[in-house]
Amino acid sequence: MSKLLHRTAAGLLAAGLLIVAGAGCAWSVGSPSKTGNTQQPTEHPTTGQELIDLKRALDQGAITPEEYEAKKQRLLEQ
């Protein structure tokens, strides 16, 4: 795999993670029970994990330094 293709794929993955994290989407864990209960417990990423993901996206070139600073500020203000 060429370096450009690898970097592009990594950037798209990081951008996708940011979209999910930035939207405040909950991560589903577990599976429905056999009793018919279809509700699943959810786990929200911590602010620390969101900051780590944000920095990773910056380092991989998926976002600009300006986008990083703006998104980081929003996270810290929550």
User: How does pLDDT run across 4-31, given as a tens digit for each residue?
Assistant: 545 555 565 566 655 555 555 444 455 4
Domain tally, the chain = 1
Is residue 24 one of the residues assigned to a domain? no
User: How does pLDDT run across 37-70, given as a tens digit for each residue?
Assistant: 566 667 889 999 999 999 999 999 999 999 999 9
Is residue 9 one of the residues assigned to a domain? no
Long-range contacts from 18-25, C-beta under 8 angstroms, 24+ separation: 18/53, 18/54, 18/57, 18/62, 18/63, 18/71, 21/45, 21/50, 21/53, 21/54, 22/71
Say yes or no to pLDDT of 75 above 60: yes
The residue type of 64 is: T
- Token pair 């980081």 in the structure block, residue: 72
Is residue 28 one of the residues assigned to a domain? no
Q: Please give the pLDDT value at position 71.
A: 96
Is residue 15 one of the residues assigned to a domain? no
Is residue 68 one of the residues assigned to a domain? yes
Is residue 62 one of the residues assigned to a domain? yes
Cβ atoms of 63 and 17 closer than 8 Å: no
Is residue 59 one of the residues assigned to a domain? yes
Is residue 58 one of the residues assigned to a domain? yes
Q: Which residues constitute the domain of residue 49? A: 45-78
